[in-house]
Amino acid sequence: MALNASTLDQLADHLETCQLKAQDTLKITESHPDMDWDDAYAIQDRILARKLARGARVVGYKAGLTSHAKMKQMGVTDPVFGFLVDEFVVPEGAEVQVSDLIHPKVEPEICFITRTELKGPGCHIGAVLAASDVVLPGIEVIDSRYRDFKFDLKSVVADNTSAARFVVGGRIASARDVDLRTLGVVLEKNGQPVAMGAGAAVLGHPAAAVAMLVNHLGRRGQSLPAGSLVLSGGITEAVAVQAGDNVTLRIQNLGSVSVRFV
Ligand code: 0L1
Ligand code: MG
């Protein structure tokens, strides 16, 4: 690690304060160019610890930057991983207050709910499908704390991969009964289709993103607990939203899920 404990604490405090106050900031590698990957995840861990100390509950995990569309949009090459806590949950059809966010964007995602614990290293698509009870559609609302979404991968990891809100719903399906690669996905904003794709856009198969998450957790001495929700990553590029927008995600065989921005 390149940064000392008090710097990690100070950066976690800074980024979480930006999230809670909806204020943007320059990417933290500007002031800490030596920051390494362990530092980045240590800052993310410290943000989670702050939330847990205030009574938050971990409800799942997310993989980000898992599609070529997203990687191209953000100019990066590798997936990243973050945590989901109860404060990010939006009930289906409910409203998201835009003034609580900086510059929200939405992403269409296939979400998994696991039935048994998954451990890496060596986790693969088969293990993920065998351990997953259901899949369902989800809209992730990302909100990078970095000015104009300008960042590098380490800064994004420290910022909990831009996690802000998410809504899941529609129709649940058995992860084994649908071909997640060929499921068609349509994201609509105010009744107009704005992005389209298929499950295979996520690393060839959305379960591959979950396996990568499990192997990432395994490298850190952690596992994915039974009952975890996992957002497997945006299937298309992210779409900017503002107050007044209605967003609906339709996924073939999985129904639809909607959220309103006010
Ligand atoms: O969930 C995601 O793919 C977001 C990852 C972080 C990068 C971004 O803010 O777009
Ligand atoms: Mg996402």
Is the CB of 234 within 6 Å of ligand 1? yes
CA of 161 to the centre of ligand 2 (A): 8
Q: Residue 77: is its pLDDT beyond 80?
A: no
Instruction: Report which bound ligand comes closest to the CA of 108.
Output: 2
Residue 98: count of CB within 10 angstroms of its CB = 19
Strands (E), the chain: 58-64, 80-85, 95-96, 105-114, 132-142, 163-168, 173-174, 184-189, 192-198, 229-234, 239-240, 246-251, 255-261
User: How would residue 254 be classed by pLDDT, with cut points 50, 70 and 90?
Assistant: very high
Q: What is the pLDDT of residues 39-60, one digit of tens each?
A: 999 999 999 999 999 999 999 9
Is the CB of 156 within 6 Å of ligand 1? yes
What was the pLDDT predicted at 15? 98
Euclidean distance between CA atoms 56 and 168, whole angstroms: 19
Q: What is the pLDDT of residues 118-162, one digit of tens each?
A: 999 999 999 999 999 899 999 999 999 999 999 899 999 999 999
Q: Which residues pair with 25 in a beta bridge?
A: 146
Q: What is the pLDDT of residues 148-197, one digit of tens each?
A: 999 899 999 999 999 999 999 988 999 989 999 999 999 999 999 999 99
Question: What length does the chain have?
Answer: 262
Do the Cβ atoms of 236 and 67 come closer than 8 Å? Answer: yes
The larger pLDDT score, comparing residue 69 to residue 126, is at 126
Q: Is the ipTM of this complex over 0.85?
A: yes
Question: What are the residues whose beta carbons fall under 8 Å from the beta carbon of 159, sequence distance 6 or more?
Answer: 15, 19, 28, 44, 144, 145, 146, 151
Pick from 247, 147, 129: nearest CA to 190: 247
CA of 139 to the centre of ligand 2 (A): 8
Is the CB of 160 within 6 Å of ligand 1? no
The domains found in the chain, sorted by start residue, are: 57-261 (3.90.850.10)
